[in-house]
Amino acid sequence: MYIKIFRNGEIEMKLLTIVLINLFLCISIAAQNFLVETVSGDVKYLSGTEEEWKPVTKGLSLNGNDVLLTDNKSYVKLNKDGNRFILQSNSALGLNHIEKVSINDLLLALAMEEIRNVPKTDGKGNTKNTVVYGSETKGDEQLSINSSDFGIKRLNGAKQLAENGFKESAVIVAKETYRKYPDTKKLFEERLFFADLLAELNLYEEAFSELNSISNLELQEDETDRVNSKIEKVKMEMANK
């Protein structure tokens, strides 16, 4: 279940707790090395505080602070401590996400996303610009591709995380992408894919909320039927808990 937000003070305390946990995890993950075993086609990476995308080459050592970007008909195979991961074409992925995440850490990340989406006010009922806390996936401002395309590439990367057993990480990437690239929230099949992941992880309340959000999109009749069917199944699971 998401952490519920009631007062600004609670938001700040929860933010501080989550940011400290994320900072510890980021330091640990950043130290992990990924060896590039195979590269095919046009694959780039953005590293550390640099602002220029560089070509990925065989034998290159990358770490959790790096972001990978693959073009059409391109892929890269990584090796981390004997565990291999292939990022397929038309995808983008921060290497810090190639990591097993516990359900509790996933719930913390979902709470973070919920907090980030809470409009801040100036005390007079007027909405202020929301301050972004914690680290973000780099490279968004230095892209030479359309931001909507990059959002889709991120979702492609998230799907591959799920297909390789990193379902919790996949949900985190998807949620970040919806916030940073709002146009991706309109992608029905992708939204449904990650809603199903939440249900597979037995996070039925979160799945129910996501499916309800999807049902508010402009959908075709068959799409509405699919969403409603999934909502009913999730409601049954919730009732049986």
Structure confidence by residue, pLDDT tens digits, 100-125: 999 999 999 999 898 887 665 555 55
Residue 218 falls inside a structural domain = no
- Of residues 167 and 1, more confidence is placed in 167
* Residue 61: half-sphere exposure toward Cβ, Cα within 13 Å: 5
Q: What is the pLDDT of residue 48?
A: 74
Sorted by sequence, the CB contacts under 8 Å of residue 76 that are 6+ apart come out as: 36, 38, 39, 40, 43, 56, 68, 70, 86, 87
Residue 104 falls inside a structural domain = yes
Residue with tokens 């990358």: 62
Q: What is the pLDDT of residue 133?
A: 29
Return phi, psi of residue 60, to 5°. Answer: -70, 140
- Of residues 30 and 199, more confidence is placed in 199
Residue 148 falls inside a structural domain = no
Mean pLDDT of 226-231: 98
Residue 95 falls inside a structural domain = yes
Mean pLDDT of 184-198: 97
Q: What is the pLDDT of residue 154?
A: 97
- Of residues 48 and 14, more confidence is placed in 48
- Of residues 112 and 188, more confidence is placed in 188
Q: What is the pLDDT of residue 17?
A: 54
- Per-residue pLDDT band for 29 (boundaries 50, 70, 90) equals very low
Mean pLDDT of 181-186: 95
Mean pLDDT of 2-22: 48
Does the pLDDT of residue 79 top 60, yes or no?
A: yes
Q: In Å, how far from its chain's centre is CA 223?
A: 24
Tell me the pTM.
Answer: 0.80
* Residue 13: half-sphere exposure toward Cβ, Cα within 13 Å: 8
Residue 27 falls inside a structural domain = yes
Does the pLDDT of residue 12 top 70, yes or no?
A: no
Residue 227 falls inside a structural domain = no
Residue 195 falls inside a structural domain = no
Print the domain residue range for 17. Answer: 8-143
Does the pLDDT of residue 131 top 50, yes or no?
A: no
Q: In Å, how far from its chain's centre is CA 171?
A: 5
Q: What is the pLDDT of residues 150-163, one digit of tens each?
A: 999 999 999 999 99
Mean pLDDT of 181-198: 97
Domains contained in the chain, number: 1
- Of residues 132 and 50, more confidence is placed in 50
Does the pLDDT of residue 9 top 70, yes or no?
A: no
Mean pLDDT of 94-99: 95
Residue 162 falls inside a structural domain = no
